[in-house]
Amino acid sequence: MAKANLMDYEKAISLFEVVIGLEVHVELNTKTKMFCGCRNEFGEEPNTNVCPVCIGLPGSLPTVNKKAVESSISIGLALGCQIAPTGRFARKNYFYPDLAKNFQTSQYDEPIAFAGALDVEVPSGKVFTVQIERAHMEEDAGKLTHVGGATGRIQGAEYSLVDYNRAGVPLVEIVTKPVFGAGAEAPELAAAYVRSIREIVRALGVSDARMERGNVRCDANVSLRPIGQEKLGTRTETKNVNSLRSIERAVRYEIQRQAQILADGGTIIQETRHWHEDKGSTSSGRPKSDADDYRYFPEPDLVPVMPSNELIESLRAKLPENPADKRKRLAGEWGFAEMEFRDVVNAGLLDFIEEAVAAGAKPQAARKWYSGEIARIANSEDKDVSELNITPAQVAELANLVDAGKINDRIARTVLAEVLAGKGSPEEIVKAQGLEVVSDDGALIAAIDEALAKQPDVLEKIREGKLQAAGAVIGAVMQAMKGQADAARVRELVLERANQS
């Protein structure tokens, strides 16, 4: 595959208006599947959570999962949508081995929620209102694993395995209207939008919202039109981009790729595209017309969903604080500088810090650990902070040990490494390994005297005002204490000593 020519990003933005559209699939964390009683559980033995309904055996009949409907309504309400008084399921017919029924039960012209809007803040601090076209319920497909090829895709594979545990898992698909006017910030807006959706469904408690497990997946539509042109350009749809960073990169890449083709007088092919994280590029998938013929028709085996006003209002009353309002509140409560707060939000660390604070950490201390050492380790291991083996409560414990003067920063970093290695909680590790700083002045003075005896001229120099001479003694004492001393206290004691004698 030849590498596409990419136009310089700034140039592309100066020539073309970017229009994006986002489709986000959210997997609900209901106990059971959408239309049967099979367990909805990630990571189990393949094909163990299956039954005649979700593998589409003839004669089996689906029933709707009440909790999934309620969760879908909650999502709709949180996105400012109207809730349809009646909504029907429809069959989306297609043949592919990941769905044994030969059709996906979805919603077509009667989605459960429609006409919403979401305010999304991008890293620059600008807020865009993204119009939500609809949110509809459907079922997930099974998982295909293509074995033997170099790429893990079906092309070149020797054989494919199918796991139907995921077939029938409840999904809500949230579709935006075309988003105009983000300009150079379109890639950031796409990522910030998905982050907002993730925050909302997490706050609602309706999804585990773990992107690395595919709980939240995004298809990003991108099209360009020459500045000033009314007619929309042809769009491409980059499928299943599963991290916030990838969404931003994929949209940016498509802008640069399409801009170069258009500038060269070429045409954009309407198609799905795949994002390749390793190469940082997209490649052609399958052509897609606007009228893909899925022969949608109303699902005859399910009655329409007719949520009562009472139900809708009771769900509305239970909506959690809107994430944007919550951010404003926390910014006030924590007293971070504006940049500090924005960095925390953009790094996706807000939830962790909030939990650490709830567990007793001081906000600044929690921020320091998460955006410093913990982010650094996650970065170096190419992981999300959520994948690291440390809980916000443990971070709070670590921060409080430092605050209380029981360990110093250097020891705390060692303790952090041990926590990540699964050796226990910070307090357990400090106790088991005897890492608590020596706060007994007697022991420190003894070590200072010993160091001074070896460097008799130091006291004289300090008295002459050469305070930096104390460094050598402090270093020797810290070494004797194996680093488990408060260097500032040692310095105080050395200077006291010089003034006494």
Residues at the interface with Zn ion (CB under 5 A): 36, 38, 51, 53-54
Q: Which is nearer to Zn ion, 56 or 304 (CB)?
A: 56
In 3D, which of 348, 354, 319, 323 has the Cα closest to residue 127? 323
CA atoms lying within 13 Å on the CB side of residue 424? 8
Question: In angstroms, how far is the first alpha carbon of the chain from the final one?
Answer: 79
Beta bridge partners of 298: 90
Instruction: CB nearer to Zn ion: give 166 or 406.
Output: 166
Q: d(Cα 193, Cα 172) in Å, to the nearest integer?
A: 16
**Residue 305 Cβ, how far from Zn ion at the closest point, in Å?**
19
**Nearest distance in Å: CB 162, Zn ion:** 15
Quick one: 170 or 392, whose CB is closer to Zn ion? 170
Q: What amino acid occupies position 408?
A: N
Closest CB 246 distance from Zn ion, rounded Å? 32
Nearer Cβ to Zn ion, position 63 or 229?
63
Query: C-beta of 53: minimal distance to Zn ion in Å?
Result: 5
Q: Between residues 55 and 416, which has the closer beta carbon with respect to Zn ion?
A: 55
How far apart CA 31 and CA 70 sit, in angstroms, is 13
Of 24 and 38, the one with the shorter C-beta distance to Zn ion is: 38
Q: Within a 13 Å sphere around the CA of 348, how many CA atoms are in the beta-carbon half?
A: 23
Query: Minimum distance between the CB of residue 259 and Zn ion, rounded to whole angstroms?
Result: 47
Instruction: Report CA torsion sign: 380, 386, 387, 390.
Output: positive
Q: Quick one: which of 260, 176, 174, 188 has its CA closest to 224?
A: 260
- Among residues 50 and 259, whose Cβ is nearest to Zn ion? 50
**Side-chain half-sphere of 403: how many Cα atoms within 13 Å?**
15
Report yes or no: 494 and 462 within 8 Å, Cβ to Cβ: yes
Vertex 240, ends 235 and 244: CA angle to 5°? 95
Give the single-character DSSP code of 304.
P
CB of 36 to Zn ion, least distance (A): 3
CB of 61 to Zn ion, least distance (A): 12
Radius of gyration of the chain (CA): 29
Nearer Cβ to Zn ion, position 101 or 202? 101
Comparing CB distances to Zn ion, the nearer of 53 and 498 is 53
Q: CB nearer to Zn ion: give 54 or 220.
A: 54
Nearest Cα residue to 401 out of 433, 436, 375: 436
Interatomic CA distance for residues 420 and 111, integer angstroms? 45
Six-digit token string for 430:
């400090």
Q: How far is the CB of 24 from Zn ion (least distance, A)?
A: 25
Q: Give least dist CB 317 to Zn ion, A.
A: 33
- Is there a contact between 138 and 62 (Cβ–Cβ < 8 Å)? no
Taking the complex as a whole, the smallest distance from the CB of residue 307 to Zn ion amounts, in Å, to: 24
Residue of 48, 286, 323 lying closest to 165 (CA atoms): 48
State the Cα–Cα distance between residues 313 and 326, nearest whole angstrom: 22
Which candidate, 82, 183, 212, 79, places its Cα nearest to that of 124? Answer: 183
**Residue showing tokens 């690395």:** 212
